[in-house]
Amino acid sequence: MSAQDFLVELGTEELPPKALNTLAEAFLAGIEKGLQAAGLTYSAKQVYAAPRRLAVLITQLATQQPDRSVNLDGPPRQAAFDADGNPTQAALGFAKKCGVDLSEIDQSGPKLRYSQNIAGKPTASLLPTIIEDSLNDLPIPKRMRWGARKEEFVRPTQWLVMLFGDQVIDCTILAQTAGRESRGHRFHHPESVRITSPANYASDLRAANVLADFNERRALISKRVDELATRHEGTAIVPPALLDEVTALVEWPVPLVCSFEERFLEVPQEALITTMQDNQKYFCLLDADGKLLPRFITVANVESKDPSQIILGNEKVVRPRLTDAEFFFKQDKKQSLETFNQRLQNVVFQAQLGTVFEKAERVSRLAAFIAPHVGGDAQRAGRAGLLSKCDLATEMVGEFPEMQGVAGYYYALADGEPEDVALALNEQYMPRGAGAELPSTLTGAAVAIADKLDTLVGIFGIGMLPTGSKDPYALRRAALGILRILIEKKLDLDLIKAVQFSVTQFGNKVKAAGLADQVLEFIFDRLRARYEDEGVDASVYLSVRALQPGSALDFDQRVQAVQAFRKLPEAASLAAVNKRVSNLLSKAEGNIAQTVEPKYFDNANEFSLYSAIQQADQAVGPMAANRQYTEALARLAALREPVDAFFEAVMVNAEDASVRANRYALLARLRNLFLGVADISLLG
């Protein structure tokens, strides 16, 4: 079957930069879907996206749709005709569905059947519908109309190129009649550009100062920005999202280095970086020590004969932005950070839970409680907690919300607060997302845990539990943050005591009955998903959860030990034995004896198991006390042989009550050895 290259390009006014990549990928996906539905084969695909165009190149697209047959089964014969042989509504409805008369339906089999061979259509006749459907299905939240036209799209359309081989597809889509004339760069080459062939699309536009390939422009910008940064003895900050957005703003990228006055460097560099990145789409430069340089890189969309004019223009535009940041910084520093708490006494955190200042007071007390338990300083943690929300009332954070915590850090240092107290004002929000940075100080860790616990207890205490689709207070993220801090920083905090302390801080603002248990269950339930993501079987999590350890670190250490135990050859057998023992003990009548009496043994295997248990108890007791759980379970694995021998030779439910009770006591000793780490009877 013959094949030709196919190109479609839709020209528009400037497309939304943050959505450009999404629109391009969706355009390609829609075309692929249409080609596949039509049974049309091709060898390769390529999507192009630039500020004023979306384009797709399909290489070696079949020129003819293959013939296909349609076979549809209808109702059974007995349902299709009545006793007199007249067709029923079922038969007539099936014929109507097939678009034919009933006489054309095959009635010879047990069911009515319609078969039809459909000749394939020329690909050129199918392409307009495929393209139109793909454009209609693009993820555009709000479409617009322009002029008096009824057509709607994300931006007004300007031209349409549709080439199949050397043939122009005859069609009109979104008010544009297809042709082979594209357009070049808006300033460098405003004239029409004739696309010589689909395969030459990118090169034809490059000659007209348009780099249509998004990835090519992105790589070029990244490379050139790095080169310019190195030339100016710096390193560029290039967030991927900003690089994508800048790439979507230009057709012919020309990065240029600009400067600003060094006096602005007295302002916290995070504020300067934020305003330059978010508002101006600039790439900032850092020196070898990570300090901001008084330079930035802008990416122009034109290759000017006098680049200095573009540089001066950008420097003029950025100056008022930096001046604003400088003004807010100086205004805030006219008073101490702590005085901003006065404003927070009038700012509501949550209607039932009080003000932001009241939250800061609770966080202060809770952080002071937590700090000594994790090796920190209670006084400093309490101080950091009291200052933790102050910067929310500052001018700086009011203008740059991303500066919360960061502004507090700078203002606290300016007030002479200890370094760890100042750092904690920013670290309280850590981790800010999955896999994000954790607090570096114990003071910061204590405040971060306290802040998150206070929110969890408070919101749960007023009954505003998160649902499957809604979690307005980010309680899941808070719980995961607490767990990450405790586990990854190896902080041994008893969450049971911490949560109970937090509950007391709210007084009658919350329903305290059962609240601590509810919050703890929510927190530890988050571990299940964490371990599943790490490839840990759910049964391993459940085996530890059954013991309800209060420390997240202890919980994790036990899980890692059980995970290692599962890989041992003895694991499956010992897990089965523990399950059997658990069932036996649950059915035992009366209290199980605390001690084992060897005088009731009547089988050598009982003596062997008793001896093995005593030796194991002496060995693993210190291991479990030191949380050497992996070593403890590895030692207990040696019990497999005497345990198997015991169950092969001994009838646990002996007729003699004393012998039976003694055997139960022996098995209880065995089970308690394992319960020192986890309930391995739950292992799957």
The yes or no reply on domain 3-65+122-206 and CATH 3.30.70.260 is: yes
Could you tell me where the DSSP H helices lie in 304-354? 307-332, 341-344
Q: With 80 as the cut, is the pLDDT of residue 304 above it?
A: yes
Lowest mean pLDDT among 178-192, 293-307, 348-362, 662-676: 662-676
Q: Where are the domains of the chain?
A: 3-65+122-206, 68-118, 214-332, 338-535, 562-682
What pLDDT, on a 0 to 100 scale, did the predictor assign at position 684? 62
Residues 357-405 have pLDDT tens digits of 999 999 999 999 999 999 999 999 999 999 999 999 999 999 999 999 9
Positive or negative torsion for Cα 525, 527, 529, 532? negative
Please give the CATH architecture assigned to the domain spanning 338-535: Orthogonal Bundle (1.10)
Number of H helices, E strands in the chain: 26, 17
Task: Report CA Rg, the chain.
Answer: 36
- Tell me the pLDDT band of 647, cut-offs 50, 70 and 90: confident
Q: With 70 as the cut, is the pLDDT of residue 602 above it?
A: yes
What is the percent of the chain where pLDDT is above 90? 74
CB 161 within 8 A of CB 182: yes
- What superfamily would CATH give domain 562-682? Isoleucyl-tRNA Synthetase; Domain 1 (1.10.730.10)
Of 634, 622, 488, nearest to 564 by C-alpha is: 634
Lowest mean pLDDT among 79-93, 180-194, 293-307: 79-93
What pLDDT, on a 0 to 100 scale, did the predictor assign at position 583? 85
Average pLDDT over residues 331-359: 96
CB 349 within 8 A of CB 454: no
Share the mean pLDDT of the chain. Answer: 93
Of 473, 452, 448, 462, nearest to 515 by C-alpha is: 462
Could you tell me where the DSSP H helices lie in 333-402? 341-344, 356-370, 378-387, 395-399
What pLDDT, on a 0 to 100 scale, did the predictor assign at position 598? 86
Q: With 90 as the cut, is the pLDDT of residue 603 above it?
A: no
Average pLDDT over residues 289-307: 96
| Distance of alpha carbon 319 from alpha carbon 258, whole angstroms | 11
Average pLDDT over residues 141-165: 92
Could you tell me where the DSSP H helices lie in 506-656? 515-533, 538-545, 552-566, 571-587, 604-625, 629-636, 640-649
Residues 615-641 have pLDDT tens digits of 998 999 899 889 999 999 999 998 999
Could you tell me where the DSSP H helices lie in 86-180? 89-98, 123-136
Q: With 90 as the cut, is the pLDDT of residue 40 above it?
A: yes
Residues 187-220 have pLDDT tens digits of 999 999 999 999 999 999 999 999 999 999 999 9
Q: With 90 as the cut, is the pLDDT of residue 584 above it?
A: no
Tokens coding 158: 């300007």
What pLDDT, on a 0 to 100 scale, did the predictor assign at position 106? 82
CA angle, residues 30, 33, 39, in degrees to nearest 5:
145
| Distance of alpha carbon 294 from alpha carbon 138, whole angstroms | 42
Average pLDDT over residues 588-602: 80
Q: With 90 as the cut, is the pLDDT of residue 146 above it?
A: no
Residues 6-27 have pLDDT tens digits of 999 999 999 999 999 999 999 9
- Tell me the pLDDT band of 1, cut-offs 50, 70 and 90: low
Q: With 90 as the cut, is the pLDDT of residue 411 above it?
A: yes
